Amino acid sequence: MNINNICCIGAGYVGGPTMAVIAKMNPDINVTIVDINTDRIAAWNDKDLSKLPIYEPGLAEIVEETRGKNLFFSTEIDKSIDASEMIFISVNTPTKTYGKGKGMAADLKFVELCARNIAEVATTDKIVVEKSTLPVRTAQAIKSILVNTGSDVNFQILSNPEFLAEGTAVQDLLNPDRVLIGGESDDAIESLAKIYASWVPQEKILRTNVWSSELSKLTANAFLAQRISSINAISELCEHTEASVSEVARAIGMDSRIGPKFLNASIGFGGSCFQKDILNLVYIARSYNLNAVADYWEQVIILNDHQKRRFSDKLISTLYNTVSGKKIGMLGWAFKKDTNDTRESAAIYVADHLLSEQANIAVYDPKVSKSKMQSDLNYLNTRSKEENEALVKTYDEPYKALQDAHAVAIMTEWDEFKTYDWKQIFDSMKKPAFIFDGRNILDKNDMTKIGFEYSSIGH
């Protein structure tokens, strides 16, 4: 099929950057990203590029180059679906918060609504591409909805999971390790492969069956998250044995079978994907009665929760077993640097624990707004909105956030934190002045020379 028009349903962290790059690399194809969220679409269309709803290095430049030429953001979903030969479904698939599978299974209601929407309005043949991360065998459900419309429109379904990481999305898209396309129809697979082939070498475009493609995405995330839980498990052992987790990571990472990436011990992984996708994998395994498989992967999450908890426990015990009424300065709220995304950020859970111990929290993050921080805490439902407002103050300047603080907790590895005038910060803090470096970004010797009581993960 010749593709001249693409529609992407879902203008989020995946739909936005992915389609912007497809549009940049295929100037002859019109790409329209649609969403039910009118505010989000308005922000994507904002003349002021600093107001785009998603912060990713390099993204604003691509949007500036393509928007209004062959990249469009719209709320006219039906019109865009019918005008396109290829439709990407890139909507959210969060963990279910109700009913069967609550807290474990992926909630597929948004995906199903997209399939029904496509079935309703399509008058010409379409290739429907699953871009969202989906449980293995979801394509079957989508197909069943699409083929039972009674019309003679022909639908082909492809799985094309996205492997970008936030903060490096544009680079990951421009130079992917691989592009994965799963499908039944060679014609449909090649129509999509041709779009990627505009910039991705053929040998990096993998073709598989649909089920392998769906399951590969969950498996990749599970393996990546497992590495972090593995090094975090070792970090706790290091803290009891005078081994250094950085030295251990370096030593094992030089083994080419293990490799050096993704071995940074931390306060625990966050983000919208790892936890959700592993819980989903665990749920699927249990649904086939594969309890040993499910228990194995669940442990990755259990260890991650433990890592977040032991960070706040250590902070409290070091501050003489109480943080009640004390000011804790938090640097960073995003789940990693170079993104404004806070979904499942460890900062939220550490803050919530400290608030339950009656701490006062002062936060600075270069990209996360006060309202986002408040809504993250309110979502947990641990205390009232008013209490969260009273106990958590947000600053747009780090030095003020840390003034008179009893301790600094580093939650995100933003580069700018390394270059602060730490002597000035020390002078403005209560003594003894503590740093809890949840990202191992500061130098212990430098900090102790200034006078800080410094502790990090796994040392």
Footprint of ligand UDX (CB under 6 A): 162-166, 221, 224, 228, 262-264, 266, 269-271, 273-274, 335-336
**Spatial separation of the C-alpha atoms in residues 362 and 342, rounded to whole Å:** 17
Task: Please tell me whether residue 105 adopts helix, strand or coil conformation.
Answer: coil
DSSP 25-73: H-TTSEEEEE-S-HHHHHHHT-SSGGG-SS--TTHHHHHHHHBTTTEEE
* 162 catalytically annotated: yes
* 273 catalytically annotated: yes
Q: Which is nearer to ligand UDX, 331 or 405 (CB)?
A: 331
Kind of pairing between the strands at 453-456 and 434-437: parallel
Q: Which does 269 bind (CB under 5 to 8 A by kind): ligand NAD, ligand UDX, none?
A: ligand UDX
**Spatial separation of the C-alpha atoms in residues 302 and 83, rounded to whole Å:** 46
Kind of pairing between the strands at 30-34 and 5-9: parallel
Q: Provide, rounded to whole angstroms, the least separation between the CB of residue 427 and ligand UDX.
A: 30
Q: Which is nearer to ligand NAD, 90 or 264 (CB)?
A: 90
Task: Please give the residue ranges that form the binding site for ligand NAD (CB under 6 A).
Answer: 9-15, 35-37, 40, 77, 90-93, 110, 113-114, 132-133, 162, 164, 166, 272-273
Residue for token digits 């990096």?
204
**Spatial separation of the C-alpha atoms in residues 114 and 182, rounded to whole Å:** 19
Q: Which does 11 bind (CB under 5 to 8 A by kind): ligand NAD, ligand UDX, none?
A: ligand NAD
Which of 162, 166, 344, 413 is the catalytic position?
Answer: 162
**Spatial separation of the C-alpha atoms in residues 433 and 454, rounded to whole Å:** 9
**Spatial separation of the C-alpha atoms in residues 375 and 386, rounded to whole Å:** 12
Q: Which is nearer to ligand NAD, 160 or 235 (CB)?
A: 160
Task: Please calculate the CA angle 180-94-365 and round it to the nearest 5 degrees.
Answer: 95
Q: Provide, rounded to whole angstroms, the least separation between the CB of residue 336 and ligand UDX.
A: 4
Which of 24, 131, 273, 298 is the catalytic position?
Answer: 273
Q: Provide, rounded to whole angstroms, the least separation between the CB of residue 162 and ligand NAD.
A: 4
The encoded tokens of residue 140 equal: 């079957």
Q: Which does 36 bind (CB under 5 to 8 A by kind): ligand NAD, ligand UDX, none?
A: ligand NAD
Long-range Cβ pairs for the range 39-42 (8 Å, 24+): 40/11, 40/12, 41/11, 41/73, 41/74, 41/75
Q: Which does 132 bind (CB under 5 to 8 A by kind): ligand UDX, ligand NAD, none?
A: ligand NAD
Q: Provide, rounded to whole angstroms, the least separation between the CB of residue 150 and ligand NAD.
A: 22
Q: Which is nearer to ligand NAD, 11 or 402 (CB)?
A: 11
Q: Which is nearer to ligand UDX, 155 or 349 (CB)?
A: 349
**Spatial separation of the C-alpha atoms in residues 363 and 115, rounded to whole Å:** 41
Q: Which does 336 bind (CB under 5 to 8 A by kind): ligand NAD, ligand UDX, none?
A: ligand UDX
DSSP 264-294: ---S---SSSHHHHHHHHHHHHHHTT-HHHH
Q: Which is nearer to ligand NAD, 131 or 406 (CB)?
A: 131
Q: Which does 263 bind (CB under 5 to 8 A by kind): ligand NAD, ligand UDX, none?
A: ligand UDX
Q: Provide, rounded to whole angstroms, the least separation between the CB of residue 103 and ligand NAD.
A: 16
Q: Catalytic residues, which ones?
A: 162, 217, 273
